[in-house]
Amino acid sequence: MNSPQADTAYCQNSRFMKAVRREPVDTTPIWIMRQAGRYLPEYMEVRNRVTFIELCKTPELAAEVTLTAQSVLGVDAAILFADLLPILEPMGLDLEYVKGEGPVIHNPIQESSQVDRLTDIADMNCLEFVFDAVKLIRADLPTDIPLLGFAGCPFTLASYAIEGGSSKNYRRTKQIMYNDPVAWDALMNRFVDNLIIYLQRQITAGCQAVQIFDSWAGCLSPEDYQQYVQPYTAKLVAGVQDHAPVINFMTGNPALIPLQKQTGGQVFGIDWRINLADAWEILGPDVAVQGNLDPIALYADLPVLKQKAKSVLDAAGGRNGHIFNLGHGVMPDMNPDNVKALVEMVHELGCR
């Protein structure tokens, strides 16, 4: 095994970390959201033996699927195999992963008077399985491959906690948000305070950078994002970025990009609903940008996929600080050969 301390120092000279700092690289780095997932036979070999949550909570297995995905695909970063939602359990929510339905919270916060049911995590060691997985992964990763940690943003976690699962219109979430700003403030700050500690612990365990996911913020207008979400996500970023770079990822609404920039981070992850060049113009030259191929493009024939990848790289224009990724996660029925081909294409076409 490699020394985690030595790995951390060496990874600063990796292709990925140089791009985070907007330094020159030999070719565009790439990693892929959900790169360890059901589309990979190596993942399914492990997943068929345990439930999803058992996989998340067994450090040796979480490490195995994380390491295998990075090795098989040849990507420039590994991302911790975990899930956004287990942090909700020690905060007082009854979480279950239901086959065919996804995550379900059986005791959601249905009205603002119930916000106080959500408690601070008394001892972050209850999530030790996450930190143990980080240590195992970091010990066995190649020394030039950084490990990314991650967490959900306060709004996305609050939406799960209130809706009890996925939602089309986020009616209950917005109802509390609009009608009881005091309860909303208490809820969001509780998430922020616990997330800061959670991400700092991931970094201490061996992550070189972290990504925060605001996967559901796209349902908001710019005015609502600015009033009800931005202050809390900004507080989260400020509490973490002195420990490691933060990738601020948001999807669903390009109109939020100016506010996303104000919220903070070293890298800004964008989805496919805006041209990457236009997004970078909005974000400005002082940050790195991650993205932004439509995940469905991976279903295209390889010559078409190559053209789509080239279009993203052309939009980046060879600027320092571009990290190639999908605009969201790879789909579970994807042909893994297409994902491997994309990685090779980006490395070939992105050569400096």
Q: Give the residue numbers marked as catalytic.
A: 34, 38, 47, 83, 160
Amino acid at site 209: A
Omega cis (within 30) before 48: no
C-alpha–C-alpha distance, residues 253 and 347, integer Å: 29
The residue with tokens 């565009």 is 28
Q: 247: closest CA among 12, 6, 16, 81?
A: 16
244 secondary structure, DSSP code = S
DSSP codes joined into one string, 9-76: HHHTTSHHHHHHTT---SS--B--TT-SSTT-HHHHHHHTTS-HHHHHH-HHHHHHHHHHHHHHHT-S
Q: Which residues pair with 324 in a beta bridge?
A: 30
Looking at this protein, which amino acid is placed at residue 220?
L
CA dihedral (33, 35, 39, 45) positive or negative: negative
Terminal C-alpha separation, the chain: 33
Dihedral over alpha carbons 328, 262, 226, 191 (to 10 degrees): 70
For helices 181-205 and 230-240, what crossing angle results, to 10°? 20
CA-CA distances (angstroms) from residue 327 to 187, 262, 291? Answer: 29, 20, 6
Whole-number Å distance between alpha carbons of 109 and 107:
7
